[in-house]
C-alpha cells in the first residue's frame, strides 16, 4: 500500500470538550489503491477522467454525482450500547459518502456523556483503516514527531478530558469517496431519583438509509422495570420496542427513512436529541448487592424505605449583571419551587451576591410556611447588576453554618449543605480561582457539603466542579434555555433528601484489596454508592458480612452474598454481557477517585505520585486521560494521528495546536501593521491641525478607563474618562450593520484612593454575529467560541488561532490582536501589576483603528465616531498649569470647556506608556458623546445596545 503523504493536513483544537480533525484533499496516489470492501460498505468504481462514481444499487441513492455544496450521503448511522451491571459500553458508527462533484467536508460530531471514558476510535477511508492505541503522552508525541520528521502523513487531534462532552471530526472528502467513523466509550450508569438513566445523543445531522439505536441491558440482580420516555418527540411515537425478561432487556429504535423526515416531503431529519433508557433493579437486601466476577467485586449500596434527615441549607445565588434576562427569570422561578419543597424540620437562609453580598437572614431559620413565603417575596425583588464576588459570598455562607454549629443550633442528626448558583467567573474581590478554592476548603473544614449549579455555556464549570468535589459535593452545568428552571429543580431533587449521615464499609483485609468507591459523602434518596475492588477468590467466606452503614439511629448490614458460581454461569451464557465489567467498573471508579485526590493534593510531591498512578491505570486499562494520548494509525503505520489533551484550559494549551506555538518567536504573520508600530512621543505644542504621528492614529481605551478618540478629518485627539462601578459593562462598539459588538466589563481597584475607587476593564467581549463567533478576553485567558465549539488560550502562550477567516494573534503576556479579513481589526493590551500591590489590579486596554469598516449604523462609546462629528475648538486661554490650557469646544450643538492634557498609549511601552496630546472632555464625556454614559451600559458581554 502506498504512502498517503500529505493526506492528513490539519488538526484543530477544541478547548471545550472536543476532538476536531481535518483531513486534506486525497492525493492522486489514492486512486490507484486496491478497493477494499468493508462490512456494510459496497465497493466503489472509478469513473472516467479520474472521477469517483458511487455504486447506486448498494448505497440506495439514485443518480450520478451532482453539483451540490452539501450532497453528503449518510448510508448508515448506528448506535449499539450494552449495559452490564451498570457499566455501559457504547459504540457510535457512521458510514457516509460524498455524492457531489466537488470535495466536501464530512463531519462526525458526537456528544459523549460527561464522565465517560473514550477507549477506541477508528476511521476507514475508502478501505484504509486507522485504529487507535493508548500511549503515555510524551511517548505518543515522540512517535508522532518521528513520523512527521520522516515525511509521513501525520496530524494532531486534541481534547480536554477534564470535561469532555464533544467528539468532532471533519474530513475533506473527494467526490465519490466513502468514509466510516466508529467511536467507543464506556461509562458507569448512576442512579438518580430512584432509577438508572442511560442517555445517548443521537444527532445524525441528515437522513440515513439505515438508522438504528440498539440497547441491551444485563442485570444479574434482576430488572424491576424498563422505560423509554419519548425524549425525541411525539414524531416517533410507537417506533421504539422493548423486550424485557427477568434479568435482561432489549430496546430497539429503527425509524425508516420516511419516519425520520420532519414532514412527508422534507429532506431534513427529525432525529435530533437524546435517546433515553430508564430502568431499576430488584433489591432484596438492606445492605446492598455484592457481585464478584473474574477477580473483582462490585458492591452496589442503595437502601430504601429510610426517612430523610433534617437539613440545614444555604442557597447562594449570583445576581450579577450577566444573570440579566432569562437566566434570572428562570432562576427565580426555580428557587420559588425549591423553597416550596423544604420540609418543616429543615433550616435555611438565602444569600444573593454581585460585587456586594446580601443576606435575607443573617442566621438559619426554620422552614415554616411564613418564612418560606417571605423568602419567595425576597427573591422576587432581585434585579441583577454589578460584578461577581464569589469568594466573599461563599465565605459568608460558611460563616453562618459554622456559627450555627458552634452555638448548638443544629440537630446532631441533621446534614448541612450550601447550594451555589452562578453563571460566571469572579470579577470583584478575590479573582484567583485557586485562592478561592483554598479559602472555601479551609472555612468548610469537611463539616458540610457544597453543591454548585453552573448556569449557561460560558460558566467556568471546571472550577465549580473542583470546588464542589473538594467539599464533599458535586456540580452540574445548567444550560441556559427555556428548561433552566426544570434542570435546577431536578438537580435539587437529587440532593435534597439526605438519608444517611455516616457510611462506613468494612471489608476484611485478607479477602479484598485496592478498594475504591464513588465520591458521595452523604447518601441521598434515589442515589447509589458503588464500591469496587480486587478480591481473593480463595477467601470468599470472609465477605459474608462486610458493610455497616449508620443512618441517624439505624444500622444496615449486608445479609447475604450472591452465589458466585451462579453469577459466573449467568454471565458466561449471555453473548452480549461484558466479561470484563467488574474490572472496567473498578478501573473507572479508581481513575475518577485518583483524579479528585490529585486536584485536592496538598503537596507537589503527592500530586506527582498520584499522576504516576493515573498514568499507569490509563495504560493498563486503555482509557484516555489527561496524562495519555491516543495514537491513531493505519495498518502499515505510515499514517499517524495523535489524539491529545491539553492541561487545564485556563493555563494554556500544548505545542502542536492550530497555529499555537508557545515560546516561539512572533512572526506577526497576518497582524496589521498598526498593531506593531514603534510609537513616537508627541511633544507639547500649541493647538494645530498638522498631520498626527501615524502610529498614534488609533481609538483606544486604557487605564481608568481613559478614552482617546482620534478624529482623522480634523486631525485631533479628544479624550474623556468614564467613572462607573465595578461589574458594569460598557458598550464600545454596537454595529447592527456588520453584526459586530465590542463590550468591556469593569473591575475595581482593591481599595479607594482619595475617596475614589478606580475602575478598569477586566474583561472585553467581541461578538461577530454573522460568523457566529464570540471572543472573550480577560486578564486570565483568551477564549474563542463558536456554538458548542470553543478554544481557550492563556496569556502564557504566543501564537495564532484561525476560525472562519477570523485571526486571533496572541503575544505572550503582552497583547491580543483580532483581525477579521481585511475589514477590521482590534488590539487588546494586558497590564500586569505586582500581585501584592495594595491597590492596583491587572487590567486590559483596547485599541481600535479608525480605518475599521463599520457601517453607518455603528454606535457605542467608540463606534459613534465612525461618522466623524464637526468639532470646533476656540477661545483657548491659559489654565491653572501652563501645560494645561483651556478652550471652548462646540460639537453636536453642545458648547463646553475642555482642557489640553496628556493621556498614555501603552502599545510599545506597557510600563510608562507614550504621551498622547489631546483635548480632555470632563464629566464622563458629557456633550461629546451622545446622551449620558449610563446609556451605554449593557446587560451582557455580547449585548447590542440601543441608541441613546
Q: Assess whether 273 and 418 both reside in one domain.
A: no
Q: Residue 776's pLDDT is what?
A: 95
Residue 181 included in any domain: yes
Q: Using CA of residue 26, residue 787, residue 423, residue 313, what is the dihedral sign?
A: negative
Residue 682 included in any domain: no
Q: Assess whether 212 and 351 both reside in one domain.
A: no
Residue 861 included in any domain: yes
Number of domains in the chain: 3
Q: Assess whether 128 and 241 both reside in one domain.
A: yes
Helix (H) or strand (E) holding 475: strand 475-478
Residue 276 included in any domain: yes
Which runs of E-coded beta strand occur in 319-437? 347-353, 357-359, 365-366, 415-422
Q: Residue 239's pLDDT is what?
A: 93
Q: Assess whether 340 and 275 both reside in one domain.
A: no
Nearest one of 621, 618, 619, 622 to 598, comparing CA atoms: 618
What CATH number should be reported for the domain holding residue 377? 3.40.50.410
Helix (DSSP H) and strand (DSSP E) numbers for the chain? 13, 55
Q: Assess whether 320 and 257 both reside in one domain.
A: no
Residue 121 included in any domain: yes
Q: Assess whether 275 and 357 both reside in one domain.
A: no
Task: Tell me how many degrees the CA angle 381-384-387 measures, rounded to the nearest 5.
Answer: 140
Q: Residue 458's pLDDT is what?
A: 63
Q: Residue 704's pLDDT is what?
A: 64
Q: Is 621 helix (H, G, I), strand (E, B) or coil?
A: helix
Residue 547 included in any domain: no
Q: Assess whether 241 and 323 both reside in one domain.
A: no
Question: What is the pTM for the complete model shown?
Answer: 0.58
Q: Residue 569's pLDDT is what?
A: 62
Domain end, chosen from 496, 526, 546, is at 496
As given in the structure block, the three cell numbers for residue 240 are: 421504539
579 Cβ neighbours under 8 A, 6+ residues apart: 293, 294, 571, 572
What CATH number should be reported for the domain holding residue 165? 2.60.40
Q: Is 198 exposed, middle or buried (0-12, 13-18, 19+ CB in 10 A)?
A: buried
Q: Assess whether 217 and 366 both reside in one domain.
A: no
Q: Assess whether 773 and 904 both reside in one domain.
A: yes
Q: Which domain range does residue 736 map to?
A: 707-925
Q: Assess whether 125 and 262 both reside in one domain.
A: yes
pLDDT digits (tens, 9 = 90+) for 169-224: 666 677 888 889 899 998 988 887 778 999 999 999 889 999 999 999 999 888 99
Residue 853 included in any domain: yes
Q: Residue 149's pLDDT is what?
A: 63
Q: Which residues does the chain have with pLDDT short of 50?
A: 1-69, 153-164, 544-564, 645-671, 674-696
The C-alpha atoms of residue 373 and residue 368 are separated, in whole angstroms, by 9
Q: Assess whether 356 and 462 both reside in one domain.
A: yes
Q: Assess whether 273 and 386 both reside in one domain.
A: no
Residue 812 included in any domain: yes
Which residue is listed with cell 467511536? 183
Q: Residue 486's pLDDT is what?
A: 78
Q: Residue 159's pLDDT is what?
A: 42
* Contact criterion met (CB below 8 Å) for 216 and 567: no
Amino acid at each position: 500500500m502506498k504512502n498517503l503523504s500529505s493526506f492528513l493536513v490539519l488538526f484543530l483544537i477544541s478547548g471545550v470538550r472536543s476532538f476536531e480533525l481535518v483531513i486534506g484533499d486525497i492525493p492522486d496516489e489514492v486512486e490507484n489503491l486496491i478497493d477494499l470492501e468493508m462490512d456494510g460498505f459496497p465497493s466503489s468504481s472509478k469513473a472516467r477522467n479520474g472521477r469517483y462514481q458511487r455504486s447506486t444499487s448498494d448505497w440506495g441513492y439514485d443518480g450520478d454525482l451532482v453539483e451540490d455544496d452539501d450532497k453528503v450521503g449518510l448510508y448508515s448511522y448506528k448506535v449499539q450500547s450494552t449495559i452490564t451491571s451498570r457499566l455501559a459500553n457504547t459504540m457510535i458508527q457512521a458510514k457516509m459518502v460524498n455524492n457531489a462533484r466537488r470535495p466536501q467536508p464530512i463531519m462526525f460530531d458526537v456528544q459523549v456523556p460527561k464522565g465517560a471514558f473514550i477507549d477506541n476510535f477508528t476511521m476507514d477511508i475508502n478501505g484504509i483503516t486507522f485504529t487507535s492505541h493508548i500511549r503515555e503522552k510524551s511517548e505518543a508525541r515522540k512517535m508522532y514527531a518521528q513520523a512527521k520528521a520522516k515525511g509521513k502523513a501525520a496530524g494532531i487531534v486534541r481534547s480536554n478530558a477534564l470535561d469532555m462532552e464533544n467528539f468532532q471530526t471533519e474530513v475533506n472528502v473527494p467526490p465519490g469517496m466513502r468514509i466510516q467513523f466508529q467511536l467507543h466509550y464506556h461509562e458507569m450508569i448512576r442512579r438518580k431519583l430512584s432509577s438508572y438513566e442511560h442517555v445517548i445523543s443521537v444527532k445524525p445531522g441528515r437522513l440515513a438509509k439505515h438508522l438504528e439505536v440498539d440497547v441491551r441491558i444485563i442485570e444479574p440482580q434482576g430488572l424491576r422495570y424498563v422505560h423509554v420516555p419519548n425524549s425525541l418527540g411525539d414524531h416517533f411515537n410507537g417506533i421504539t420496542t422493548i423486550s424485557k425478561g427477568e434479568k435482561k432487556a432489549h430496546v430497539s429504535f429503527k425509524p425508516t427513512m420516511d419516519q425520520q423526515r420532519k414532514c412527508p416531503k422534507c429532506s431534513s431529519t427529525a432525529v435530533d436529541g437524546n435517546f433515553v433508557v430508564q430502568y431499576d433493579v430488584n433489591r432484596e437486601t438492606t445492605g446492598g448487592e455484592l457481585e464478584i466476577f473474574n477477580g473483582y467485586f462490585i458492591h452496589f449500596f442503595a437502601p430504601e424505605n429510610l426517612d430523610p434527615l433534617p437539613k440545614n441549607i444555604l442557597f447562594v445565588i449570583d445576581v450579577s449583571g450577566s444573570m440579566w434576562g432569562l437566566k434570572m427569570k428562570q432562576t427565580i422561578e426555580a428557587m420559588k419551587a425549591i423553597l416550596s419543597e423544604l420540609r418543616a424540620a429543615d433550616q435555611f437562609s438565602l444569600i444573593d451576591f454581585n460585587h456586594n453580598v446580601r443576606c435575607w437572614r443573617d442566621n438559619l431559620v426554620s422552614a415554616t410556611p411564613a418564612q418560606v413565603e417571605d423568602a419567595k417575596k425576597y427573591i422576587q425583588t432581585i434585579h441583577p447588576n454589578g460584578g461577581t464576588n464569589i469568594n466573599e459570598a461563599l465565605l459568608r455562607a460558611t460563616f453562618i453554618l459554622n456559627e450555627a454549629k458552634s452555638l448548638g443550633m443544629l440537630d446532631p442528626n441533621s446534614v448541612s449543605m450550601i447550594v451555589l448558583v452562578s453563571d460566571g467567573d469572579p470579577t470583584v474581590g478575590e479573582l484567583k480561582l485557586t485562592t478561592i478554592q483554598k479559602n472555601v476548603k479551609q472555612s468548610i473544614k469537611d463539616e458540610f457539603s457544597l453543591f454548585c449549579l453552573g448556569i449557561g455555556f460560558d460558566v467556568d464549570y471546571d472550577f465549580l466542579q473542583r470546588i464542589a468535589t473538594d467539599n464533599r459535593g458535586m456540580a452540574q452545568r445548567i444550560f441556559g434555555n427555556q428548561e433552566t428552571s426544570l434542570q435546577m429543580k431536578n438537580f435539587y431533587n437529587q440532593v435534597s433528601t439526605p438519608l444517611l449521615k455516616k457510611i462506613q464499609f468494612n471489608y476484611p483485609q485478607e479477602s479484598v484489596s485496592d478498594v475504591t468507591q464513588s465520591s458521595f459523602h452523604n447518601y441521598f434518596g434515589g442515589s447509589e454508592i458503588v464500591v469496587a475492588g480486587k478480591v481473593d477468590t480463595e477467601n470468599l467466606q470472609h465477605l459474608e458480612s462486610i458493610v455497616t452503614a449508620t443512618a441517624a439511629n439505624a444500622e444496615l448490614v449486608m445479609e447475604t452474598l450472591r452465589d458466585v458460581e451462579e453469577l459466573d454461569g449467568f454471565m458466561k451464557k449471555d453473548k452480549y454481557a461484558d466479561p470484563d465489567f467488574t474490572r472496567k467498573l473498578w478501573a473507572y471508579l479508581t481513575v475518577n477517585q485518583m483524579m479528585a485526590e490529585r486536584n485536592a493534593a496538598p503537596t507537589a510531591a503527592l500530586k506527582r505520585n498520584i499522576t504516576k498512578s493515573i498514568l499507569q491505570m490509563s495504560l493498563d486499562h486503555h482509557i484516555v486521560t489527561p496524562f495519555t494520548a491516543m495514537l491513531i494509525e493505519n495498518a502499515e503505520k505510515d499514517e499517524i494521528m495523535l489524539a491529545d489533551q491539553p492541561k487545564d484550559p485556563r493555563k494554556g494549551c500544548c505545542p502542536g495546536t492550530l497555529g499555537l506555538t508557545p515560546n516561539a518567536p512572533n512572526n506577526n504573520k497576518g497582524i496589521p501593521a498598526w498593531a506593531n508600530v514603534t510609537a513616537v512621543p508627541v511633544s507639547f505644542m500649541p493647538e494645530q491641525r498638522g498631520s498626527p504621528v501615524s502610529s498614534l492614529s488609533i481609538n483606544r481605551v486604557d487605564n481608568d478607563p481613559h478614552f482617546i478618540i482620534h478624529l482623522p478629518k480634523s486631525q485631533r485627539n479628544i479624550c474623556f474618562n468614564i467613572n462607573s462601578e465595578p461589574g458594569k459593562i460598557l458598550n464600545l462598539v454596537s454595529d447592527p450593520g456588520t453584526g459586530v459588538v465590542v463590550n468591556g466589563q469593569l473591575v475595581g481597584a482593591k481599595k479607594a484612593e482619595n475617596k475614589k475607587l478606580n475602575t478598569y476593564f477586566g474583561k472585553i467581549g467581541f461578538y461577530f454575529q454573522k460568523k457566529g463567533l464570540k471572543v472573550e478576553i480577560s486578564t486570565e485567558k483568551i477564549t474563542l467560541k463558536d456554538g458548542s465549539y470553543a478554544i481557550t488560550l492563556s496569556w502564557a502562550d504566543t501564537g495564532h488561532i484561525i476560525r472562519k477567516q477570523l485571526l486571533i494573534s496572541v503575544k505572550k503576556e503582552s497583547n491580543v490582536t483580532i483581525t477579521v479579513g481585511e475589514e477590521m481589526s482590534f488590539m487588546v493590551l494586558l497590564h500586569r501589576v505586582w500581585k501584592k500591590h495594595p491597590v492596583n489590579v491587572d487590567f486590559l486596554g483596547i485599541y481600535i483603528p479608525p480605518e475599521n469598516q463599520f457601517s453607518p449604523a455603528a454606535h457605542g462609546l467608540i463606534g459613534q465616531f465612525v461618522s466623524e462629528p464637526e468639532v470646533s475648538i476656540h477661545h483657548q486661554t491659559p489654565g491653572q498649569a501652563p501645560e494645561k490650557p483651556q478652550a471652548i469646544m462646540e460639537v453636536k450643538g453642545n458648547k463646553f470647556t475642555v482642557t489640553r492634557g496628556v493621556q498614555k498609549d501603552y502599545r510599545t511601552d506597557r510600563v510608562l506608556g507614550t504621551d498622547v496630546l489631546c483635548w480632555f472632555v470632563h464629566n464622563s464625556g458629557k456633550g461629546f458623546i451622545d446622551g449620558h454614559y449610563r446609556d451605554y451600559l449593557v446587560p451582557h458581554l455580547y449585548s447590542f445596545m440601543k441608541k441613546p
